[in-house]
Amino acid sequence: MAMPKISIRALKALVAVYEEQSFSKAAERENATQSGMSTQVKNLETVLDTPLLTRNRKQFDLTPAGKIVYQEGQRVLHSLLATEQAVEELKGEISGQVRFGMIPTLTRSVMVPAMESFKHQFSGVELSLVEEYSFSLMRRVLEGELDFAFVPAGDLPNGLTAKFVGRDREMVVSRPGRFGAHAHLSPIPLAALGEARIVVPSRLNVRRRRIDTVLQAHGVHVAEMLEMDGMLGTLEMVGATDWIAILPSALCHPDKSGQARQLNVLSEPPMTIDYVMVQKAEVALSRAAAILSDVIAEHTNAVLGDWDDLGGQGSITAGEPAYSNK
């Protein structure tokens, strides 16, 4: 049987340099020297007798051959790590540490039941949770600080893969009675938000860009916008004042009774948001991390499904769209 010419170290070097877009950052990530990383990539190009990386201004691009090596290299590294972890898990019970991230939208309603369910079965696993917005969480996963994260779907950085979790609907949240003509949990057309004062996330937030696009496309002019990147602060603001917000139903689930805040399903048009679980492409999740990810996904869908009694109001179509890194 012929032995491969490509070494694991060279594969890791190419993957790291392309994803970090820097030899120095790749060296830091792989605990190596910058010259060592450069040598590994050059050796790989020599062995394959073809260039794999080209520098275009200040960024590295993959050649056609480089794309093949990068994509197949990710699969090889992922498979090797999965093999190592499978063997380790044969030695004993599920334990260790799982570091994961969740957006504030999901921590309010999903975190507690999901973690209690998991810890009841796997008390020996240590959990570490980071609550941040999607951009920061994806960067932490890419840098190896987190095993996985639950975030809104969108363009992925190179080096990450995404698995579809569920589709949510957006709701208009206000103080009780704010929209007198629209009862709690009834649909409300986007046009009804004209001249309202609305609390929105900052422009770095994926949802903000969607909100701005939909308002502009449908000619809805609000009286004033207040940027606030705190979910709890937003909820307090809209519950006590005439300000309103457009928020995912997962975040609103604890307010389903309508006592503290009024919820109305956004319609005409409805707005949806997909949730995905992201992880590093070439790194296999440990058994504990994979189980926890499945538990969080299960509880997320339980919360999303608890709005089924709204019938077709602002209805959403379930599905599993594909998300890729661009």
Class of domain 167-272: alpha beta
Query: What is the C-alpha to C-alpha distance for residues 284 and 305, in angstroms, rounded to an integer?
Result: 29
Bond prior to 269 in cis (omega within 30° of 0): yes
CB of 37 closer than 8 Å to CB of 13: yes
Show pLDDT as tens, one digit a residue, over the chain (326 residues): 677 888 888 888 888 888 888 888 888 888 889 888 899 989 888 988 899 998 887 788 899 999 898 888 888 887 887 787 777 666 666 878 899 999 999 999 999 999 999 999 998 899 999 999 898 999 999 988 999 999 999 888 888 999 999 999 999 999 999 998 899 999 999 999 999 999 999 988 888 889 999 999 999 999 999 999 888 899 999 999 999 999 999 999 999 999 999 999 999 999 999 999 999 988 889 889 999 999 999 999 999 998 876 644 544 444 454 444 53
Q: What are the structural domain ranges in the chain?
A: 8-89, 96-165+274-310, 167-272
Look up the pTM and report it. 0.74
Beta carbons of 300 and 102 less than 8 angstroms apart: no
8-89 and 96-165+274-310 share one fold = no
**What residues contact 222, with CB distance under 8 A and at least 6 apart?**
193, 194, 195, 196, 197, 198, 215
Q: Which CATH number fits domain 96-165+274-310: 3.30.70.260, 3.40.190.10, 3.40.50.2300, 3.30.300.10?
A: 3.40.190.10
**Amino acid identity, residue 300?**
T
DSSP string spanning 189-231? EGGGGTT-EEEE--TTSHHHHHHHHHHHHTT---SEEEE---H
- Pick one of 2.60.200.20, 1.10.10.10, 3.40.50.1820, 3.40.50.1980 as the CATH number of 8-89: 1.10.10.10
